[in-house]
Structure 1
Amino acid sequence: MSNVSDDVTPAAGDPQGRPPLASDQKAADVASPIEPESGEQQDDSAPSGEASEPVEEAGNAPLTRKERRERWRRAHPTASHVLDFLTVIVVALVLSFLIKTFLAQPFVIPSESMEDTFVRGDRVVVSKLSTSVSHVRRGDIVVFRDDDGWLAEPVDVDRNALRRGLEAVGLLPETEHQYLIKRIIGVGGDNVACCDSQGRVTVNDQPITEPYLKPGSIPSQIPFSVQVPEGKLWVMGDNRQNSGDSRFHMGDPGGGFVDEDQVVGSAFATVWPLNRLSWHSNPESVFDQVPNP
């Protein structure tokens, strides 16, 4: 039996000049090009030396991110619905937080001090742009923090992490601070007094007529004359006979004045109940004749 060498030799013959063996001839025959069978046409349309472009099946093409997401949704319909629901909730909470922090915040009217402009139980919306973009003005209805203790001490509430989070996004009323709502009558530098010979409030010696007062209410049952410090406000309720406003705190350390930094914003709309839906604008005509201090 002949030994088979591990070296591969050319099919044309042996480099030492021996004639090719029958086995070599058989290998050469195998390596020869395959001729087309009878009846088959050879495609000569492709240029010589160029390979035909392979056709890629669509099923083997890589999926786009959108296609992968749609395939996952079809395979997991319940999980897809839950994910959509959670996404909506998260977006709503984020929007609520941003609106409450930078644009507007709802409040509930707790008393009769601003009747008939607001009544107990009204839901009002306060614009925060009025304090962040421009200064508040005489006649504005403002909500402000009770940093000076005008109200009674609130009932202690357990402010756990969940409650603080719900308060932050506006789903629960805030309990960290108490708030009041009043109308600005005097700003920094103004002299506000009551009453003149006709029983009217004067601002910088200019009498004002106040159409927003509750019918039957007088401008003030308490005489006063104050000089408003810079950066402070003098505020009064529209229901003057039932409003614990600046007049009733003149003997306090703060003199009854409200710091501008305590103001949350200006009330511009009553949104609930629907039969009291209304917009509130500044009564500029009341103060348009008041001179600068």
Structure 2
Amino acid sequence: MGLVLLVGAVALLGTGYTGVTVAGSSMEPTYSIGEQVFLERIEDGEVRRGDVVLYRMPDRYRGAVALQRVIGLEGERVAARPGAQVTVNGKPLTEPYVMDGDPSAGSPPYGVVVPKGRLFLLGDNRGNANDSRFFLSEQSGTVAATAVQARVLEDRTGLLAQVLTALLGLLLTLMALALGLAARSARQQRRPAPILPMSA
């Protein structure tokens, strides 16, 4: 049982979760340079607005992975102008995570409709983020939803449960080995001593 728990939990941790170290400042103040971020692997249909996602597109950032926030989903109109909040379908978006509280920092005015199967992504540090705003000529700056590899874990309860399950499995496995060795030793001690033939 312990071995089953251990192998199952380790396999799930390896395939269901990943981690990255933040290398740039585009997601400050939410995530800082050098910070370790844990993510859960998801399918493209599981992405929600507000998620911070890890994605890779071969034609951007020299093929490196990027960490950005989902602002617009397929079919939605995302717009912004200097000195104003970003709007989604005409409604201002509340963004408490944005650096210095200024969602329009460094942003040229834009208004796009997100194509089917794609996402509009922005960094939280709008004054220093090379995000969807700067690729507007390429499918409105959007990213294919299938390019998303994982989502940042806001709630680490599931990850903690898997780690604890793995530790429990390891403990049970070690206990079983110890009991097995003890039982083997006890059996050897109970064996009757060999009877030596009497000399003439």
TM-score calculated relative to the size of structure 1: 0.47
Q: Cα deviation per residue 1:79-122 (whole Å; 9 max; x = unaligned)?
A: xxxxxxxx9xxx77x86554232x11111111000000000111
User: % of aligned pairs identical?
Assistant: 32
Say which of 41, 50, 68 aligns to 1:182: 68
Corresponding residue for 1:120?
Answer: 33
Say which of 238, 259, 263 aligns to 2:148: 263
Change (3 A) 1:270 1:178: farther
RMSD of equivalent CA atoms: 2.5
Give the number of the structure whose residues are more often helix, by fraction.
Answer: 2
Corresponding residue for 1:211?
Answer: 96
1:150 maps onto 2:60 in alignment: yes
Please give the secondary structure, in 2, of the residue aligned with 1:215: helix
Tell whether the 8 Å contact from 2:112 to 2:140 is kept in structure 1 after alignment.
no
Change (3 A) 1:121 1:199: same
Tell whether the 8 Å contact from 2:86 to 2:103 is kept in structure 1 after alignment.
no
Which AA in structure 1 matches 2:43? Answer: T
The 1-side partners of 2:92 and 2:17 are apart by 33
Which AA in structure 1 matches 2:135? Answer: H
Change (3 A) 1:145 1:97: farther
Unaligned runs of 5+ in 2: 157-200
Q: Cα deviation per residue 1:39-98 (whole Å; 9 max; x = unaligned)?
A: xxxxxxxxxxxxxxxxxxxxxxxxxxxxxxxxxxxxxxxxxxxxxxxx9xxx77x86554
Runs (4+) off by over 3 Å: 94-98
Q: Cα deviation per residue 1:195-251 (whole Å; 9 max; x = unaligned)?
A: 28x611110011122100012544342110000011100000000010000011112
Tell whether the 8 Å contact from 2:21 to 2:35 is kept in structure 1 after alignment.
yes
Q: CA deviation at 1:255?
A: 3.6
Unaligned runs of 5+ in 1: 1-86, 153-176, 272-293
Q: Which has the larger radius of gyration?
A: 1
Query: What count of residue pairs does the alignment treat as equivalent?
Result: 151
Tell whether the 8 Å contact from 1:124 to 1:269 is kept in structure 2 after alignment.
no
Answer 1 or 2: higher relative contact order, Cα 8 Å, separation at least 6: 2
Tell whether the 8 Å contact from 1:117 to 1:238 is kept in structure 2 after alignment.
yes
Say which of 100, 103, 126 aligns to 2:14: 100
